[in-house]
A and B are shown apart, each in its own frame.
Chain A
Amino acid sequence: AQTVTQSQPEMSVQEAETVTLSCTYDTSESNYYLFWYKQPPSRQMILVIRQEAYKQQNATENRFSVNFQKAAKSFSLKISDSQLGDTAMYFCAQNYGGSQGNLIFGKGTKLSVKP
């Protein structure tokens, strides 16, 4: 069975600093997608970044970037220049089956950005 593991239940970072959230996964599929979603207190699920497994280049979206290590099945999220609005739960996810939207989520990391 596929699993997604986030080993850091909670993290905190000072405003303007950089923080890295960890995620590991286990899959037997050769082609898949990995995602980071942000869930602020409103509980809306917001897509942060997506990585295609067949692409070696790490995805970046403004202040957000990933470190994708396919052999190690590791997919960490780096947030640079942290802002107060980054305070949220962050969920790592991997798709399975034929659709990008069949997602298995990790348990999440609660990130607090302190002023």
Chain B
Amino acid sequence: EPEVTQTPSHQVTQMGQEVILRCVPISNHLYFYWYRQILGQKVEFLVSFYNNEISEKSEIFDDQFSVERPDGSNFTLKIRSTKLEDSAMYFCASSPVMGSPIFGPGTRLTVT
């Protein structure tokens, strides 16, 4: 069964550093998403991406964040100048045009 993959599974970084989280969506999906989940809290929508541009973003997705589809398979989330409060699980998801989002296993980001 097709699946969304994410790398790395765990990333540790120092406050102020830049991190890039990587995702490979399911190959025939056209919508891509990033979500985050701070430990013990609910899952929060960050951004959706379609046709090589952002289609929707939440208030959390400020100038510190950016997304990119650098080639035909990868979808990345960049966090510039990380803060302690960016520590969370980051989930990538993808969906076909008329279908439910399928989530990847997540990347646990720890900012020290």
A residues bordering B, Cβ < 8 Å?
A: 33, 35, 37, 42-47, 50, 91, 93, 97-108
Q: Could you say which interface size class chain B belongs to?
A: 20 to 34
Given contacts A97-B56, A99-B56, contact A106 B42 (CB under 8 A): yes
A43 lies within 8 A of B106 (CB): yes
B residues bordering A, Cβ < 8 Å?
A: 31, 33, 35, 37, 41-45, 48, 50, 55-56, 89, 91, 93-95, 98-103, 105-106
B100 lies within 8 A of A44 (CB): no
Question: Chain A's interface: helix, strand, loop or mixed, by majority?
Answer: loop
Closest 3 CB pairs of A and B: A101-B101, A45-B103, A105-B43
A47 lies within 8 A of B100 (CB): yes
Given contacts A100-B95, A101-B48, A105-B44, contact A42 B105 (CB under 8 A): yes
